[in-house]
Amino acid sequence: MAVGRVVTEGLRLSSRLALVTGGGSGIGRAVCQQFASEGATVAVADIDEDSAEETLKSLPCDEQQHSVFLTDVTSPQSVHSLVASIQTQFSRPPSIVVNCAGITMDSLLLKMEAETFERVLRVNLMGTFLVIQAASKALIANGSRRGSIVNLGSIVGKVGNLGQANYTASKAGVVALTKTSAKELARYVYGIRCNAILPGFIDTPMAAKVPPKVLEKVVQLVPMGRLGDASEVASVCAFLASDDSSYITGTSLEVTGGLFM
């Protein structure tokens, strides 16, 4: 997969420590690359250690010492261990968290097994909750007065999509979770912002699973006439992670090329 260009806006994230789940591929890998290019030290978390290592090799590494963490976001124990290990290695919790870990297991509603529905919600929604909770607790315990959490939703969580009852439900839940988290964590004593990004159809390994004829029809519906690049989502993540968005919390930014506007 071609990751695409990395858009740099200077070292907006210099000296920041960022945790990116699902960092082994797709949008997660592009976010890791974007953050590293803007000066952040990156903790690449993924359930696929080999993919995470590939991401690590692609990161610019001047003074930053990026690292890989094998993590199952559906497991409270694994997520707790992830945050604890990051604190042990870097002597601080991550002040930036991006929840990119996600899966699809598509099937029409009338044919979908309950286990398939539950599995997607556990990764996409429960996993996001567990990481938000663990990272926020660590930031608060550390006495931090700033932090930024960015959750990856999806435009189909807003409009629905054939064959994706589980995925769309999980991504709609991510938006609601983001708003509630923002309200609870933005109090002055905490100062943690929480926002969501709703990508449209992005050129990633997940999109590669969609039949070509279906993708062709999707592109015809996009006013900009093409799929998005993962780096274009990563650039928005960097904006929300940086102080450029210091008065933004609880929002959902669509990165769709105009699809479903």
Tens-digit pLDDT profile for residues 93-111 = 999 999 999 999 999 999 9
The Cα 204–Cα 216 span in angstroms is 15
Beta carbons within 8 Å of 186's beta carbon, 6+ residues apart:
192, 193, 194, 249, 250
The Cα 171–Cα 102 span in angstroms is 10
For residue 2, is it within any domain?
A: no
For residue 69, is it within any domain?
A: yes
For residue 51, is it within any domain?
A: yes
The Cα 232–Cα 118 span in angstroms is 30
CB half-sphere exposure, 94, CA atoms < 13 A: 32
Say yes or no to pLDDT of 89 above 50: yes
* Reported pTM: 0.93
As a whole-number percent, the residues of the chain with pLDDT over 90 amount to 84
For residue 87, is it within any domain?
A: yes
CATH number at residue 251: 3.40.50.720
DSSP state of 74: T
For residue 130, is it within any domain?
A: yes
Say yes or no to pLDDT of 9 above 60: no
Long-range contacts of the stretch 67-70 (C-beta < 8 A, 24+): 67/42, 67/43, 68/43, 68/44, 69/43, 69/44, 69/45, 70/45, 70/46
Beta carbons within 8 Å of 100's beta carbon, 6+ residues apart:
20, 21, 22, 23, 26, 27, 28, 31, 152
Query: At 63, is the pLDDT very low, low, confident or very high (cuts 50, 70, 90)?
Result: low
Residue 180 has a pLDDT of 97
For residue 60, is it within any domain?
A: yes
- Strands annotated E in the chain: 17-21, 41-46, 67-70, 96-99, 147-152, 192-199, 252-255
Say yes or no to pLDDT of 4 above 90: no
* Packed helices 114-121 and 165-185: angle between N→C axes, nearest 10 degrees: 30
Q: What are the residue numbers of the active site?
A: 167
For residue 157, is it within any domain?
A: yes
Q: pLDDT tens for residues 10-23?
A: 689 999 999 999 99
Say yes or no to pLDDT of 76 above 80: yes
Ranked by mean pLDDT, the top range of 9-18, 75-84, 188-197 is 75-84
For residue 5, is it within any domain?
A: no
Overall domain count for the chain: 1
Averaged pLDDT, 239-254: 97
Range of the domain at 27: 17-255
Averaged pLDDT, 114-131: 98
